[in-house]
Amino acid sequence: MSLLDFARLLAGLFVGAAGADGRGLRRYHPAMTPADPRLGRHFSRCVLGIALLLNSCVLLSQPDAPRLAQPALDELSGLAVSKADPTVLWGHNDSGGRAELFRIGVDGSDLGRLRVSGARAYDWEDISAFEWRGKPALLIADVGDNKAARHSVTLYAVSDPGRGGRQARLLWQLDFRYDGGPRDCEAVTVDQADHSVLLLTKREHPKRLYRLPLPKGKPPVGVATAELLGEVTTVPQPSALDHLGNPMQAHFFGQPTAMDLSPDGRSLLVLTYKNALRWRRRDGQPWIEALAAAPEIIALPFLRQAEALAVAADGQSMFVSSEGASAPLLRVPLSP
């Protein structure tokens, strides 16, 4: 159990024990509550306040991790490990940002930024590293749609210049829509083995998993359709303790905000506003079938708005970060 979950549990136990007027604590010791119901209510509120204060201390604590050094990277919404250089991460800002990529060291250092000529940044939400025609590339997902109102959304593929390159050249643009209508999505990754792009929706429950074939050449003019693979019911939703411990944000805890595949293609990692989730699959098993099983839950320190995840090149850890200026860059170990 993480410290955050422990604090929530304390809050829930205190409230459940005290009851509305504090008299519930008499079950444990008659002297613990005053006889006057008004004093009992005050006592109950004090207990609840202490419990929530404990929870808030955990919420406000920041992990001991390197920080993102680039001041302009204040709405990080996607992260990928470069296929050209595993010591380089690529990131980008959320909606309203410029069409540019930020080059980041694994220690959070600023390695510069590059404009992506020919691309538009309407609402970039995720980025994935892959190989296209045998060369390192990056997939940028301009798929954010908070109100599920965009008639089509866009994937951009650009060359991955690694640590020293000065240009992220636009390779192709793929406009598409979802089978069944617009969806809000922030979790996108490339399944290199299947030569496809996977997209996991955010706000609805159950979530939906979509698939798009990865273009072998430049996509034809027009709007493609992402295939619905099925519903995903196994993403954990916020509990009663979540709502008690963090009533302002708990509603969002079950929403996927980023996704990446392990280098061996056997594990799918999904980030939510509360935890990271890991599903494993057998050889040849479709991802929609693997996602029917309960995921491994990877507890994370509290982050202001966790929206960026990338698996390290060796598959033994993952990088996680958040929106916000000078956000922490976590490196979280992954079990074999």
The rounded percent of the chain whose pLDDT value lies above 90 is 76
Whether residue 217 sits in one domain with residue 81: yes
Q: What is the pLDDT of residues 34-55, one digit of tens each?
A: 455 555 555 545 544 544 444 4
Residue 69 included in any domain? no
pLDDT band at residue 245 using 50, 70 and 90 as cut-offs: confident
pLDDT band at residue 265 using 50, 70 and 90 as cut-offs: very high
Strands 153-159, 170-178: pairing is antiparallel
Whether residue 167 sits in one domain with residue 36: no
C-alpha pair distances (Å), 317 with each of 185, 192, 200, 262, 267: 24, 20, 22, 9, 12
Mean pLDDT of the chain: 86
Residue 32 predicted with pLDDT over 70:
no
Residue 70 included in any domain? no
- CATH code: domain of residue 308: 2.120.10.30
Q: Find the mean pLDDT for residues 96-120.
A: 95
Residue 14 predicted with pLDDT over 80:
no
CA nearest to 75, candidates 265, 257, 219 = 257
Rounded distance between C-alpha atoms, residue 198 and residue 213, angstroms: 9
Whether residue 114 sits in one domain with residue 216: yes
pTM for the whole thing?
A: 0.83
Rounded distance between C-alpha atoms, residue 261 and residue 270, angstroms: 9
Residue 7 predicted with pLDDT over 60:
no
Q: What's the pLDDT at 319?
A: 98
Specify the number of domains making up the chain.
2
Helix (H) or strand (E) holding 289: helix 287-290
Of 2-6, 19-23, 179-183, 332-336, least confident by mean pLDDT is 19-23
Q: What's the pLDDT at 274?
A: 96
Q: What is the pLDDT of residues 147-173, one digit of tens each?
A: 999 999 999 999 999 999 989 999 999
Q: What's the pLDDT at 45?
A: 53
Q: Find the mean pLDDT for residues 284-300.
A: 97
Whether residue 100 sits in one domain with residue 209: yes
Residue 20 predicted with pLDDT over 50:
no
Residue 66 included in any domain? no
Task: Show the domain range for 16.
Answer: 3-60
pLDDT band at residue 124 using 50, 70 and 90 as cut-offs: very high
